[in-house]
Amino acid sequence: AQSVTQLDSQVPVFEEAPVELRCNYSSSVSVYLFWYVQYPNQGLQLLLKYLSGSTLVESINGFEAEFNKSQTSFHLRKPSVHISDTAEYFCAVTISGNTGKLIFGQGTTLQVKP
């Protein structure tokens, strides 16, 4: 079975500082990896995903994540955060080729302070 561990429940950071949200997964087979974001009082939205190919994937709003197979990690980074990035972030995994059942991590709350 697959599992996902997000190592930090809360990450406070000042505006314009860099941030890293950590995600480790466990699986005996190939996986697809995802980051979802949940802004206050909203549902989850897909931020970025790794399916295959380049291990570095990027989102349209400046986030990036790197798939590291040897360390079974998929950490999310942004070099300079904004107040508007305040949200809860979820890492998720599914088996490659799976029909779509996602397993989510516990979530990390990113709090960007002015």
- Interface residues toward another protein, by CB under 8 A: 4, 6, 9, 32, 34, 41-46, 49, 51, 90, 94, 98-107
Instruction: Decide whether 15 or 95 has the Cβ nearer to another protein.
Output: 95
Ramachandran angles phi, psi of 70, nearest 5°: -70, -30
Residue 66 Cβ, how far from another protein at the closest point, in Å?
Answer: 20
Instruction: Decide whether 51 or 83 has the Cβ nearer to another protein.
Output: 51
**CA 32 from centroid of its chain's CA atoms:** 12
Instruction: Decide whether 100 or 114 has the Cβ nearer to another protein.
Output: 100
Residue 68 Cβ, how far from another protein at the closest point, in Å?
Answer: 20
Q: Which residues in 59-107 belong to E strands, given as ranges? A: 64-68, 73-78, 87-95, 103-104
Instruction: Decide whether 48 or 112 has the Cβ nearer to another protein.
Output: 48
Calpha distance 106→114 (Å, rounded): 26
Q: Which of 98, 109, 99, 95 is nearest to 21 (CA)?
A: 109
Residue 84 Cβ, how far from another protein at the closest point, in Å?
Answer: 19
Residue 49 Cβ, how far from another protein at the closest point, in Å?
Answer: 7
**Kind and range of the H or E element at 12?**
strand 10-14
